[in-house]
Structure 1
Amino acid sequence: MHKNNNNEIVTLFTYRYLLNEPQPPHDFKQDIEDLRVFPERLEISHVDEWRSYIRRYINRKKLSDAELETLTKRLDIPEISEEFQYLKSILITALKINDSPEIKVINTPLKAYLNKLIKM
C-alpha cells in the first residue's frame, strides 16, 4: 500500500469507529484486535466493508458534512480517545506489516484451518 492509501485507510477507520453501532454477531472492535493475528484482513475485506458501512450509515441518517465533522469532536472525550488510540495503534501496525517487503504472513496449519472455517 502507499502512504496516501494508508492515510485514506486511517480516515476510513476513524469514521467507521465514530459511526459504530454494535450489531451482533459483528464486532468492529474485535475485528481490529484480530488484525494482530490476521493483518492481511485489512486489505482483503475490512477497507471495503468500512466504505460500505460509512456510506449506508450516512445515507440512512442523512448526515451532512458538518455533522460528520462534529463527530470527530467525540475523540476529545478521554475514554473514547484512549480506546481509539489503542485500536488505531493496532491498525497502524497492520498497515506496516502489510507494507513491509521483509515481513511475510506465515500460513501456519492453525491459521489455514481458521481461515477455512471463516470462509464456510
Structure 2
Amino acid sequence: MDWELREVDDVEATLDGSGLYVVINRVVGSAMEPTNRDIIRVRADLMTSAGVNGKNFDEPIMSFIGTANNVRKHLIAFLQAEGYTVILSHEHASYIGYELHRAETDEHYVQD
C-alpha cells in the first residue's frame, strides 16, 4: 500500500448501547495540597445508565485520578479485566485518550 493523505469529513460517533459512559474532569491541586495550582491531574468516572451490572441510573462503577496517560491505561485495563471488551473498540480507546489529554492541557475544555 502506498502512502496517501486523505481529507476526511466529520463522522458521527457510533453508539454501542452498552449503557456505559465516561465523565472526565480536570483536577487542579491534590488532597494533600488543594491550593497547589501546579498539580494538574484528570479524573475519569466510568458511569452506567440503564441498570448495567445492577447499578442505578447514572451511577459510577469505578473512578480513576492521575495523569491523563495513566488514567487512560488504567481505565482501558479495567474495562478489559471486567469483561467489557465486547464494547471496547479502537474508537472508544482513542476518544477516551483524546478527551483525557484535552482535560489535562485545559484545551478550551468542555467534554464533547
Same-fold call, TM > 0.5? no
Greater helix fraction, Structure 1 or Structure 2: 1
The alignment's TM-score, normalised by the length of structure 2, stands at 0.29
Greater strand fraction, Structure 1 or Structure 2: 2
The alignment's TM-score, normalised by the length of structure 1, stands at 0.27
Tell me: higher relative CO, structure 1 or 2? Use CA pairs within 8 A at least 6 residues apart: 1
